[in-house]
Structure 1
Amino acid sequence: MNLRGKQKRFLRARANHLQPLFAVGKEGLTANWLAQLDGALDRRELIKVNILQNADVTTDEVKDFIEGQTDIQVVQTIGRVLALFKVSANKDMRHLSDQVKKI
Structure 2
Amino acid sequence: MPLTKKQIRQLKSLVHHLNPVVIVGQNGLTEAVFNELDITLNTHELIKVRLNAGDREERQEMIGQICGRCGAELVQTIGHVAAFFRRNPDNPVITLKKD
* 8 Å CA contact retained: 1:42, 1:90: no
1:32 shift after superposition: 2.3
Q: Which stretches of structure 1, 4 residues or more, deviate above 3 A after TM superposition?
A: none
TM-score with structure 1 setting the length: 0.84
Report SS of the residue matched to 2:88: coil
Number of positions where the alignment pairs a residue of Structure 1 with one of Structure 2:
97
Separation in structure 1 between the aligned mates of residue 26 and residue 32 of structure 2, nearest angstrom: 15
1:26 correspondence with 2:26: yes
Separation in structure 2 between the aligned mates of residue 38 and residue 101 of structure 1, nearest angstrom: 24
TM-score with structure 2 setting the length: 0.87
RMSD, aligned CA: 1.6
1:56 shift after superposition: 5.1
1:95 correspondence with 2:87: no
Give 1 or 2: higher helix fraction. Answer: 1
Separation in structure 2 between the aligned mates of residue 60 and residue 37 of structure 1, nearest angstrom: 17
1:41/1:62 CA distance change after superposition, 3 Å: same
Unaligned runs of 5+ in 2: none
1:69 shift after superposition: 1.5
Separation in structure 2 between the aligned mates of residue 22 and residue 36 of structure 1, nearest angstrom: 7
Separation in structure 1 between the aligned mates of residue 85 and residue 44 of structure 2, nearest angstrom: 9
